[in-house]
Structure 1
Amino acid sequence: MVADEGSLPPSPKPVPSKELTTRVLSALVMVAAALLTAYWGGWPFALFWLAAGIAIVVEWTDMTGIEPRRLVQAVLGIGLAALTLLFLLDAGLWLFGVVGLGSLAAAAFAVSGAQKRLWAVSSFIYAAPIVLIPPIVRAHPDLGILGLLWMFAVVWATDIAAYFTGRTFGGPKLCPPISPKKTWSGFIGGVVAATLCGLLVAWLGRRYDTGLPLTFTGIAVLSIVSSIASQVGDLGESALKRYCQVKDSSHLIPGHGGVMDRLDGFWAVCLIVALVLLTLGSTV
């Protein structure tokens, strides 16, 4: 006996093939650009992440409705560019502090209202790790390109595995008020995949006579922590978008939304890596 069609659970809405093709092509372009500039290092890599940071400031201030918007975006964009220049010139740490605080003060002065000032300041604080941490990792003698590949592997594996395991297994929702589609199965799948990929990058590095300054156990733990942080970063950006009542941070990337939509997890991993750099006694 065939069950009544109305009693069957609704099937997931298929993703249109054109939309899926656009998403895949956009992803391939972004991955290629990230890997190619990472291989070059130096100023091309620093400028790549500066562009990402400026895009984040623009998206953040657009979403939160800061006025005078273009003035604030210009001030903060110049501040981020100054940070990149200081990095390329190997300037002292105190100069980074002066430029950072000066940019924050200038943006706060340009905006009226305590809440708008907070949004302006937070946009710069959010963008600065994206601008600085990847180039610092690339230039670090103990991390270099292998450290970057580990960061990319952990974030990409988390995103891909969380998406597919969540769709495959479903189950209890991770945080319905913020992101109704995310599930605990996707969360666990992302952590497992990120750990395996993080260990694979470390193993390949040692196989070719290079390596990360951690044991495999340490790398596994750091990969787990970073994967969790990546997913928390994703939820944090989703909460901001809900607050601002927008679906995407922008429409800059075809099929993906904005730069913040793609780098929310990577931003969180940058913070984890910054803590590791401090532990290793790294200086800019």
Structure 2
Amino acid sequence: MVADEGSSLPSNSKSAPSKELTTRVLSALAMAAVALLTAYQGGWAFALFWLAAGIAIMVEWTDMIGVAPRRPVQGLLGLGLAALMVPLLTDAGFGPWATAGVVLAAGGSLLARGTSSKLWTASGFVYAALIVLIPPIVRAHPDLGILGLLWMFAVVWATDVAAYFTGRALGGPKLCPAISPKKTWSGFMGGVFAATLSGLLVAWSGQRFGLSLPFGLFGTAVLSVVASVASQAGDLGESALKRHCDVKDSSHLIPGHGGVMDRLDGFWAVCLIMAVVLLTIPLAA
């Protein structure tokens, strides 16, 4: 999630903002360490990490929209997400397990009461499925691998950090006050600039170790800009959803960050970009 650049607590508690920032930083470092460690290991550990993240997102989504009956719906959707993961970890064919996942998701959506709730439930499954599938697929892809994954992390994290501090330092016109009143255009541009540099740094560093991305340095720069914009759009999209559901955070699971959706909304958008890239890589190879 791209942090709100101007967020602060009441001025009568001067130590509170610094304490809040410390909590955010420590939580972010802990999550980054787990993400990087499992990315290095790959295999089951990495896939299960993202399955857990996807299930958490699905639970937060269905909690926010107030789906009923909640636990049966969440149980079916969770089984559907797990089914999608099976062919990524075994030699099982993707078709049957994908079909099972879709059937379970359809069952959970149909079980939800109300037409609107059914549509929101199905949308939540699709949203979570992208998080479950794309990182392991990128990690295992022969043209992307761990370098492609590190590029995704770098672009999202650089966008997040730079947007927060640039926006606080420079202020200026608001980016989208109707949805997120504390985000600024200066923060947006700072995030894009930092993401581009970080994306290029990952690609350049990979070349020093005999690894390369299939886009070249210029293509990596362009894709980093697109991914940074998508990351910030993903954050705004989740903010709009929370406003629609009249909640401040998707949950309180992560100290200083809210829920898993709050932390991964930007990364989800970059996963969407990578899904498009994965479809075009064979054409470019």
Matched, 1:233 2:223: no
CA deviation digits over 1:201-237, x for unaligned, max 9? Answer: 0000001111111111100010000000000000000
1:90 Cα offset (Å) = 4.0
- Asked whether the 8 Å contact 2:179–2:239 carries over to 1, the reply is yes
1:94 Cα offset (Å) = 2.3
Counterpart residue number, 1:253 = 254
Structure 2 SS opposite 1:213: coil
Structure 2 SS opposite 1:66: coil
TM-score (norm 2): 0.92
1:19 Cα offset (Å) = 2.1
Q: In structure 1, how many angstroms separate the alpha carbons of the residues matched to 2:17 and 2:40?
A: 35
1:28 Cα offset (Å) = 1.1
Note the residue ranges of structure 2 that are not aligned, 5 or more in a row: 1-8
Written as runs of structure 1 = structure 2, the 5 A alignment for 1:11-50 is 13=11, 15-50=16-51
Written as runs of structure 1 = structure 2, the 5 A alignment for 1:113-128 is 113-128=114-129
Written as runs of structure 1 = structure 2, the 5 A alignment for 1:201-280 is 201-280=202-281
Amino acid paired to 1:170? G
Q: How many residues align?
A: 272
Counterpart residue number, 1:7 = none
- Asked whether the 8 Å contact 2:84–2:98 carries over to 1, the reply is no
Q: In structure 1, how many angstroms separate the alpha carbons of the residues matched to 2:94 and 2:218?
A: 32
Q: In structure 1, how many angstroms separate the alpha carbons of the residues matched to 2:255 and 2:261?
A: 13
Q: In structure 1, how many angstroms separate the alpha carbons of the residues matched to 2:92 and 2:191?
A: 38
Q: In structure 2, how many angstroms separate the alpha carbons of the residues matched to 1:237 and 1:115?
A: 18
- Compare CA radii of gyration and give the structure with the larger one: 1
Q: In structure 1, how many angstroms separate the alpha carbons of the residues matched to 2:91 and 2:183?
A: 42
1:82 Cα offset (Å) = 1.1
- Asked whether the 8 Å contact 2:67–2:113 carries over to 1, the reply is no
Q: CA RMSD in A?
A: 1.5
Q: In structure 2, how many angstroms separate the alpha carbons of the residues matched to 1:142 and 1:263?
A: 24
Counterpart residue number, 1:86 = 87
- Asked whether the 8 Å contact 2:82–2:101 carries over to 1, the reply is no
1:107 Cα offset (Å) = 1.1
Amino acid paired to 2:122? V
Counterpart residue number, 1:142 = 143
1:105 Cα offset (Å) = 1.5
- Greater relative contact order (Cα 8 A, min sep 6): structure 1 or 2? 2
Amino acid paired to 2:29? L
Structure 2 SS opposite 1:182: strand
CA deviation digits over 1:185-216, x for unaligned, max 9? Answer: 00000000000000000000001111111111
Q: In structure 2, how many angstroms separate the alpha carbons of the residues matched to 1:165 and 1:256?
A: 19
1:142 Cα offset (Å) = 1.2
Structure 1 SS opposite 2:282: coil
1:45 Cα offset (Å) = 0.1
